[in-house]
Amino acid sequence: MTGATGSPEQAAAKAVADEALAAASQAGATKQDVADAAAAAVADAVKNAADAAAPVTRARFTVEGLELEAKYQGSWGNQLRARVDYDVKAADVSQLFNLTVQDGETGNIELFRNVSADSSSPRYVPNVLKQQSALVKTTGTVPQPKPTESTGPGTTPLDSGNSSGVTVKSSDGKNLEKTNYTGSQAKKEGIFALEDADLFNLLCIPPHVPGGDIDKGVVEAAGPYCEKRRAMLLVDPLGGWTTKDLAKSGIGSGVGTVSKNAAIFFPRLRQPNPENDDQIEDFVPCGAVAGIFARTDTRRGVWKAPAGLDAVLNGVPELSVSLTDDENGELNPLGVNCLRSRVPAGRVIWGSRTLQGDDRFASEWKYVPVRRTALFIEESLYRGTQWAVFEPNDEPLWAQLRMNIGAFMQNLFRQGAFQGQSPNQAYLVKVDKETTTQNDINLGIVNIIVGFAPLSPRGGRRTAGRSAESRAGTAEPIVDSAPRSRKDDPISSPERHPGTARTTGTRRWSLAGPRRRVSKAGLTHSGRQPSSDRTRADGRSARR
């Protein structure tokens, strides 16, 4: 054969040809013998080439004829060892055996007694390993009547003389790429595997490489998906944001989304890495921030900003960038939530804006707690009104909906989720012949308008170019940890909000049914507030 053989493809082709030529030269005298030998050689060569080219994702080894494979992918399985012994009752020695497996890296040992190579046995070894082992599983056929006993000269049962180790090693694979995160929504790949999750509230996507960044395209895909699922996306700062100025230019260039369901936190955290001899390294903050969200939700509710002196990042000794009040005051109006060191609390979250929180957007979804309150109410009403599907679409149904939804909103009002000193000032529930016309009834739709007056985080003031906070020193609005008098707060004062909550827009979706379908209108919140503080839940709109 002539020609270059430098590429892997050319080398593989030459190997196949050489195998076929060698087999043919040793075959019988007839043309058929030569053809059969060449075909068999080509098949074997192609299989071997394919096996060699395919990435090995799980370590493999053979123990006295029993083929085993690491249960999970990765190089961790390269330290596995196993042995077979016949230490069973004399009456069972012809059928049963014991299998011992050890993870050489951690020292963990699994012992499976009285297993069998008989597929009809309740102790059939492939089934036992599938159900009970965290280390290995069988591949191929089980040797009959059972594997040979390990009887090497080793001094301990699982040393190299008495056991079998990995013969085909695995690796941890290549670095993840954008397509590994996004994948196909139809196939539920990447982040879209969450389609199988009934509910999630927060989405964190940390980089797979310590100190690295995720592709901007991943954030571009995650933002709209979180809006669809009524969840919040916690975005990490880029590793290159090592100063306030770099963070300002970075947020100006874009991080992949400006979704009202996303928020970014800066800077990164610095703490010991137990996987690297406790060396101090930088870590993205999304996981720690998600923990603060969960803690605040449990203690105070989603309407409380997950920020302030009580939003302490426990176990974080320092931050990668130390920010002053003035630097915080420059970043926060751009929608960047700063992490700060505050005495005596320690490292805390000192900002609660969404990526629509840039002052230039004048967005009604400026603050994280306002947006999350709307998402919470939306999801709760969607799930809590499923009973109305197929009900007759008339005044009795509307009255029942008003009563049920009103009770839900009243309960939130009593917990302090809304502004206002009375239910009329705090929320609105409307479903009647004005919201649902005869045409809607004919289409099987009932429209429900729900409004609420939000608790916007309390803001600070900037005087003479410096930050003079309401509480502790930053221009970022935060919610007070302790209750305060509404009389002294001009934002929530009843004199400023004397009327009932008014809608700022309507949205609806319908719940399936042949003729009598029910739909909910979008959530709105208002009160007599500045336009930047009025919000409507104008998220997903879809006929169901």
Please report, for the domain that includes residue 119, its CATH number.
2.60.40.4290
Q: Which of 103, 130, 165 is the last residue of a domain?
A: 165
Q: Are residues 116 and 204 in the same domain?
A: no
* Residue 401, pLDDT score: 97
Rounded to whole angstroms, the Cα distance separating 495 from 378 reads 29
Q: What is the mean pLDDT of the segment spanning 325-345? A: 96
Asked if residue 339 and residue 191 are part of one domain, the reply reads: yes
On whether both 329 and 433 belong to a single domain, the answer is no
User: How far apart, in whole angstroms, are the C-alpha atoms of residue 522 and residue 105?
Assistant: 55
Strand duo 523-525 + 449-452: pairing: parallel
CA 381 to chain centre: 24
Residue 483 covered by a domain: no
For residue 472, pLDDT over 60 is answered with no
Last residue of a domain, one of 334, 363, 392: 363
- Domain contains 404: yes
Pairing type for strands 508-511 and 518-521 reads antiparallel
Measured CA to CA, the distance from residue 358 to residue 335 in angstroms comes to 5
* Whether residues 331 and 392 fall in one domain: no
* In a domain? residue 170: no
Same domain, 399 and 354: no
Q: Give the 3-state secondary structure of residue 356.
A: coil
- The answer for residues whose C-beta is within 8 angstroms of residue 439's C-beta and 6 or more apart is none
Q: Are residues 400 and 416 in the same domain?
A: yes
What's the pLDDT score for residue 511? 35
Question: Would you place residue 226 in the very low, low, confident or very high pLDDT band (cuts 50, 70, 90)?
Answer: very high
Among residues 335, 363, 391, the one where a domain terminates is 363
Name the range with the highest mean pLDDT among 94-103, 156-165, 462-471: 94-103
- Residue 464 within any structural domain of the chain: no
E strands along 368-485, which residues? 427-430, 449-452, 461-463, 466-468
**Token duo for residue 122:** 């309740």
Dist. CA 350–CA 267, nearest whole Å: 11
| Residue 240 and residue 325 in one domain | yes
- Digit-coded pLDDT (tens) for 190-200: 999 999 999 99
> Which amino acid appears at position 544 of this protein?
R
**Does residue 526 form part of some domain?**
yes
- Per-residue burial over 118-136, b if 16 or more Cβ lie within 10 Å, else e, is beeeebbbbebbeeebebb
Clarify whether residues 326 and 204 are in a common domain: yes
Query: Is 199 found in the same domain as 265?
Result: yes
User: What domain range includes position 406?
Assistant: 380-456+491-536
Helix (H, G, I), strand (E, B) or coil at 176: coil
State the maximum Cα–Cα separation within the chain, in Å, rounded to a whole number. 108
Q: Which residues pair with 428 in a beta bridge?
A: 451
Residue 470: inside a domain: no
Q: What pLDDT, on the 0 to 100 scale, is given for residue 124?
A: 96
Average of per-residue pLDDT across 104-123: 92
- Mark whether 402 and 434 lie in a shared domain: yes
Return the pLDDT at 53: 47
Is residue 173 assigned to a domain?
no
- Rg (C-alpha) for the chain, rounded Å, is 32
DSSP per position, 105-117: TT--EEEEEEEES
Considering the domain architecture, whether residues 230 and 303 belong to the same structural domain is answered as yes
Please compute the mean of the pLDDT values over residues 3-25 and round it to a whole number: 56
**Given its phi and psi angles, is residue 450 left (phi above 0), alpha (psi -120 to 50 degrees) or beta?**
beta
User: Does the pLDDT of residue 407 top 60, yes or no?
Assistant: yes
pLDDT of 210 > 60? The answer is yes
Residue 375 lies in a domain: no
Domain count, the chain: 4
385 and 528 in a common domain = yes
Whole-prediction pTM:
0.64
| Residue 12, pLDDT score | 56
pLDDT value at 514 more than 60: no
Residues across the chain? 544
**Which one is predicted more confidently, 208 or 353?**
353
Angle between helices 8-25 and 31-53 (to 10 degrees): 150
